[in-house]
A = this chain, B = another copy of it.
């Protein structure tokens, strides 16, 4: 850990509100007792007693778990454990204006990594229908203007379709969440750089080429992004 962040970290561990503590204990409790989704949880009053805190504090902690989708509550019925929406909370904070620069860069690289790793699953799951749809998207972009905002829109559409073709909803959603970050960083480019491999080229590779060829195509398509990565 860098010494520069020391004071921040120390404050973070030393100053914990009771809600923080209760949240932690509840998470621990839920995982330790190996509750399964659907299981009923103790009532608020029972928890306040067990934890020795006011209902107020407890509810702040419960509110967090509710946000995470870990619990659901109904009046009179009480609380039940549920399967959390793992990306829900991520969605809330994915704002390029709030996230620090280092993390933004990390996210940018994460997306590049995913993009390069897609080929394997793509070649397992791709269907004729999907490729046709992808081709339609690629062709529709051939004629349109080269303005910056259009270019980005096309990128989003095309690559979004590729993620969709993986059949992996989580991955697809994840990518959608990364888009604002990607757009934010790419928007800072003064001169739009076009890769040597176009969308149409990628479609053709997907049609006739091997997994490896497609991957190399994708690499060339993203080459200008990779060239900007710091060593």
Residues of chain A touching chain B, judged by Cβ–Cβ distance below 8 Å, are: 19, 23, 27, 30-31, 34, 36-37, 56, 59-61, 63-64, 67-70, 81, 83-84, 86-87, 89-90, 92-95, 97-100, 102-103, 106-107, 109-110, 112-121, 124-125, 166, 168-171, 174, 212, 215-216, 219, 226, 229, 231
Tell me whether A98 and B31 are in contact (CB under 8 A).
yes
Residues of B within 8 A of A37 (CB): 98, 100
Question: Contacts A84-B98, A226-B124 hold; do A110 and B67 have CB atoms under 8 A apart?
Answer: no
Which of A102, A107, A120, A219 gathers most chain B CB within 10 Å? A120
Q: How far is the CA of A171 from the CA of B86 in the complex (A)?
A: 17
Tell me whether A120 and B124 are in contact (CB under 8 A).
no
Chain B nearest CB from A212 CB (Å) reads 7
A99: contacting residue among B83, B174, B216, CB under 8 A: B83
